[in-house]
Chains A and B, each alone.
Chain A
């Protein structure tokens, strides 16, 4: 994968190589997507001819400065926003097609920033049941789904609690359970960890990582925390409505200067590795984890 991106920023972003010869349609496919919030300001699109593919089962992190278009992009993934130009397909369905928009929203669930704005019911299990009820799932099946979904986010023991008494991390896990109960294929986290304390962030991320690994759920995680992005399969960097770099966390975060220029930074461990490498120590500049730096400095 070309981590440097194309200088023009409009480069196509393919999913990781698949072993099979047959080309599988990626779960999510954006083709030349442009979005203008204000029809009179076509010269300043929030998204500017973005191409992006997300493969089934991938964990993709999207990073970028405030106003770079991350959230606008996220809202295109389940038809909360429609492209002004270009096309978004989810499992082959065009998000502009009103006949299938609810199927798209069932397949791609979104968790937003503020845990307090996403809970609708007064009891946890009712909140989780809200989605499948809306889908018209019959009630015995709803009960099973709610139970499964709460178990998957580790919130079973809280099923009869009042959501407002939960911590931020627990509320976000309930919000995720509400999406899981709709049997989605992709979970989009739109800065869903930004209002949480460190343990709340860990709770949510560990849950999401497990769902990705064990249940094969596709995850798109939008974040300002570079150390969170460092654990994704792939990092997509946005700047002024365009994708300007993409690749494995290692290749993306090796470009510290470039990221700094667009208002981002690299995880502290990578910053340290960069300094040590420049000083001639046997440390690669693209390390991401504490353990990697320890192994490089003190080989056992």
Chain B
């Protein structure tokens, strides 16, 4: 289920001469991809992802999801929202039911699914995010920890069983374990069900670890796009627009300047460790040969 974004422009109404939030975006996202969208605050990330399930309609251009044009006024957005699940920033602020089970059931019930299907989906969604339906289900969502509330909110979207999952800063404000947990669930979900994931994040280390492709937005435009490693190779541009690169990538660049030839495109701790160890053992091998 691919997404095609073509020459999309969007300006929030209010105030003549206001600058466009999206100023001509072209983007294709293939079925099963894990794409991260990065960019400074106000670059248009959240505006862009709200176009992916028709919450916003472009002023100009097209957004085509699985062959359906969302800009078309006749498009049934309910069907689209079943395919594209959108998890907002701080989604736990939208929890409202008295129990976790009720909250997660809200979406599928709204689609008019029979009760047995609904409860099956609710249980599956809660298990997917590592929550035990029997234990957590009857509790009030407001009595849970921040990390658990976030996972319940994610389960609410997963219960719709979307083929495309769009997440706007899903780990913001969580502690390191909470971040690892929630992102681990998303990663596993993608591996097991082959869904497409589009992640908006400010966290460069996280994006480096998870996404295979990066889309960099600035001032409503795509300024850089490509495989994660290649994008992080452009550290000057990323720094100029206020993003920077993972500290590991910065380390690799510094080591190269001192003639330790770690590849410029390492992005994670594990990669850097294995590259440095490899160089080190070959270097000490040479030292022995010279001796």
CA distance A228 to B5 in the complex (A): 37
Query: Which residues in A have their C-beta under 8 angstroms from that of B40?
Result: 167, 197-200
Given A271-B269, A297-B255 in contact, is the A67-B146 Cβ separation under 8 Å?
yes
Query: Which residues in B have their C-beta under 8 angstroms from that of A113?
Result: 173
**One of B24-32, B54-62, B158-166, B246-254 at the interface:** B246-254
CA distance A275 to B258 in the complex (A): 21
Contact between chains at A294 and B247 (CB < 8 Å):
no
CA distance A35 to B146 in the complex (A): 19
| Interface of chain B residues 266 through 285 with chain A (CB within 8 A) | 269, 272-273, 276-277, 280
Query: Which residues in A have their C-beta under 8 angstroms from that of B269?
Result: 268, 271-272, 275
B13 at the interface (CB under 8 A from A): no
Contact between chains at A197 and B251 (CB < 8 Å):
no
What is the chain A residue whose CB lies nearest that of B177? A263
Contact between chains at B172 and A167 (CB < 8 Å):
no
Of the candidates B39, B173, B177, B202, which one forms a contact with A65 in the assembled complex, judged by CB atoms under 8 Å apart?
B177
Determine how close the nearest CB of chain B comes to the CB of A221; give it in whole angstroms: 15
Most buried by A among B41, B202, B273: B41
What is the chain B residue whose CB lies nearest that of A267? B247
**Interface readout for A78-120 with B: 1 if CB under 8 Å, 0 if not?**
0000000000000000000000000000000000010000000
Query: Which residues in A have their C-beta under 8 angstroms from that of B202?
Result: 196-198
B194 at the interface (CB under 8 A from A): no
B-side interface mostly: helix
A195 at the interface (CB under 8 A from B): yes
A149 at the interface (CB under 8 A from B): no
CA distance A21 to B30 in the complex (A): 69
Determine how close the nearest CB of chain A comes to the CB of B280; give it in whole angstroms: 6
A285 at the interface (CB under 8 A from B): no
Contact between chains at A300 and B258 (CB < 8 Å):
yes
Contact between chains at A298 and B259 (CB < 8 Å):
yes
B244 at the interface (CB under 8 A from A): yes
What is the chain B residue whose CB lies nearest that of A292? B251
Query: Which residues in B have their C-beta under 8 angstroms from that of A293?
Result: 251
Per the CB 8 Å criterion, the residue count for chain A at the interface is 39
Contact between chains at B146 and A66 (CB < 8 Å):
yes
Of the candidates B177, B250, B277, which one forms a contact with A264 in the assembled complex, judged by CB atoms under 8 Å apart?
B177
Contact between chains at B280 and A269 (CB < 8 Å):
no
**Interface readout for A265-294 with B: 1 if CB under 8 Å, 0 if not?**
101110110011001010000000011011
Query: Which residues in B have their C-beta under 8 angstroms from that of A200?
Result: 40-41, 242
Determine how close the nearest CB of chain A comes to the CB of B204; give it in whole angstroms: 7
Query: Which residues in B have their C-beta under 8 angstroms from that of A276?
Result: 273, 276-277
Most buried by A among B39, B246, B248: B248
Given A167-B41, A263-B175 in contact, is the A290-B277 Cβ separation under 8 Å?
no
**Interface readout for B93-113 with A: 1 if CB under 8 Å, 0 if not?**
000000000000000000000
CA distance A65 to B147 in the complex (A): 10
| Residues of chain A having any CB pair with chain B under 8 Å | 64-68, 113, 167-169, 191, 194-200, 224, 226-227, 263-265, 267-269, 271-272, 275-276, 279, 281, 290-291, 293-294, 297-298, 300
Closest CB pairs A-B (n = 5): A199-B242, A263-B177, A298-B258, A265-B176, A275-B273
For this complex, 20 residue pairs linking A to B, each with C-beta atoms less than 8 Å apart, are A64-B175, A65-B177, A66-B146, A167-B41, A196-B41, A198-B202, A198-B244, A200-B41, A224-B174, A224-B176, A226-B176, A263-B175, A264-B175, A275-B269, A279-B273, A291-B254, A293-B251, A298-B259, A298-B260, A300-B258
